[in-house]
Structure 1
């Protein structure tokens, strides 16, 4: 499997999990199931879902949108630009979506980006940001790294995240997602990936403002230990839902996404599990499926699904992968 196939798979997985998880976003598990039964195809966001109602079937959400803004800046500058530049480009996207007026952004991202707009001290928000805004948009950053460049990867993630998130848990969670992608691209096994992301956690957690957030590493190892021998995906999903949680906190959603990627090891299976589990379904799906895509490549996803996602979102995963491969050799890492 080529590097191009794996990078394209990362991006396609990100969009796939994001779009597939739209319908039940931020609804409890039982509400998702009572409304939809089983989500087994791309669906419009329901009108009465105040978060998902803006998105039609197959369209990615703010997760992939922000990830692509970040990716375009990395490709444009060949390094991580200053926070002011990242903020300017993220704000331009937000304003194009009328995002400050509608229920589009997470609370941490919205507060910090508004501070950027007003010329205020945005770090008073980044220093307390516990939500998953940094992690949900970070998967493309992992495509610029080899698996053994962990410290450089984490420092780069911290700089990318600093525009909206500067806490230990936010940087550690985002670093674990980016590291999982890098490990997948480099042909590591899923068990080796687990070792890699634990190392990333240990370093990345020292890079941010200390908080009282639960350890993603400990939570992940605990839930995977509890799940040993579980062959029923729905039971596994319920275990994650009850033991870890699937809300917007980084300590919940990133832990859930990493656990699901490790358990499913397949983009389609992960997308299905995430969409039906309840909670922050699109964000968890986006992260989990990006990781599975990094391991298994674009070629592991059905051609008709790729064509549908590319047409719906006006995106070409292979072309983007080519641009990343061209930029990797000269990309300046932190």
Structure 2
């Protein structure tokens, strides 16, 4: 097994948790409120009691973003493939119930509605075919570690099968596929220009696998940032990039906003800790955007280049072993197939 491969897979998983946990305090608060309350977030903080989404999480704990990612990853590691939707639904429901998730403000609206349908033995398709939010993309980073970067059709289909348990729209599947592709390409050591190219390539492939919607194009929004901001990376600071993403791209829970914001952040920062901090202080869906962005950056850098103090704290608080998870994932990658 390649130590380099495992290093980059560990970086992806660790980056996901880093961005998630650092983004907790200001989740779904406006930018100005985050700044007024915290100044600058550069360390793990408790979710404030008056934040109805973040109040359940203590400093350094990951949220439902990483929790669902681990549920999905565990199911795939066990099966060596993407299990049937019913199996994924049952696994997600087991986690939700363990967290009392239907009673507290834990799940996004699409995930909650679809999982409630699954729990009642009902057809979830009427919900999933309307799901425009980011529940599919927020949990997809580990999937990008399982498929070779150049197998775009296979990766898109893998993402679609994982996503459809709660989200089956074109925008949800394509957004999740773009995040997974960025991770896959970063794990493979592709350059940042190549990663951007790969992400743009998988978008139309994945769009065809989802229910057509009226959602704004992630690709078109990303190209705006690519044209107007990326050429100025060496002259503008992170605050300028953050402001542009917040004002122009959007940082809400819609896939078309949050996935684009995460991709823009990753392509701007190119460093997991830097990306996680930018997202934590940006306002909006801070933990989800940070989780996706830092996963991509962590995959590119590799775990060995992640901040050791933050990694140790995350592992201790959440009872995680990033290297062990990476070794399991790399082993599954060798036998992973689509039935």
Q: Which bracket does the TM-score occupy, shorter chain normalised?
A: over 0.9
1:315 equivalent to 2:320? Answer yes
2:305 to 300, 304, 323: 300
SS of corresponding position for 2:232:
coil
1:201 equivalent to 2:206? Answer no
1:244-255 aligned at under 5 Å gives the runs: 244-255=249-260
Distance apart, 1:301 and its partner CA: 1.2
2:330 to 288, 304, 325: 325
1:283-315 residue CA offsets vs partner (Å, 9 max, x unmatched): 000000000011001111121111110000001
Which residue is 2:273 aligned to?
268
Distance 2:13 2:105 in 1: 25
Distance apart, 1:333 and its partner CA: 3.0
1:237-248 aligned at under 5 Å gives the runs: 237-248=242-253
1:232 equivalent to 2:237? Answer yes
Distance 2:218 2:8 in 1: 26
TM-score normalized by the length of structure 1: 0.99
Which residue is 1:286 aligned to?
291
Which residue is 1:31 aligned to?
33
Q: Cα RMSD between the aligned structures?
A: 0.8
1:107-144 residue CA offsets vs partner (Å, 9 max, x unmatched): 00000000000111100000000000000000000000
SS of corresponding position for 2:281:
helix
1:26-175 aligned at under 5 Å gives the runs: 26-175=28-177
SS of corresponding position for 2:335:
coil
Gaps spanning 5+ residues in structure 2: where? Answer: none
Distance 2:118 2:307 in 1: 41
TM-score normalized by the length of structure 2: 0.97
Distance apart, 1:226 and its partner CA: 1.6
Distance 1:333 1:82 in 2: 11
Distance 1:333 1:258 in 2: 27
Distance 2:56 2:260 in 1: 27
Distance 2:331 2:147 in 1: 13
Distance 2:214 2:110 in 1: 17
Distance 1:209 1:328 in 2: 29
1:22 equivalent to 2:24? Answer yes
Count, aligned residues: 334
Distance 1:66 1:229 in 2: 36
Distance 1:327 1:37 in 2: 43
Distance apart, 1:254 and its partner CA: 0.1
SS of corresponding position for 1:22:
coil
* Counterpart contact for 1:5–1:299, Cα < 8 Å: yes
Gaps spanning 5+ residues in structure 1: where? Answer: none
SS of corresponding position for 2:242:
helix
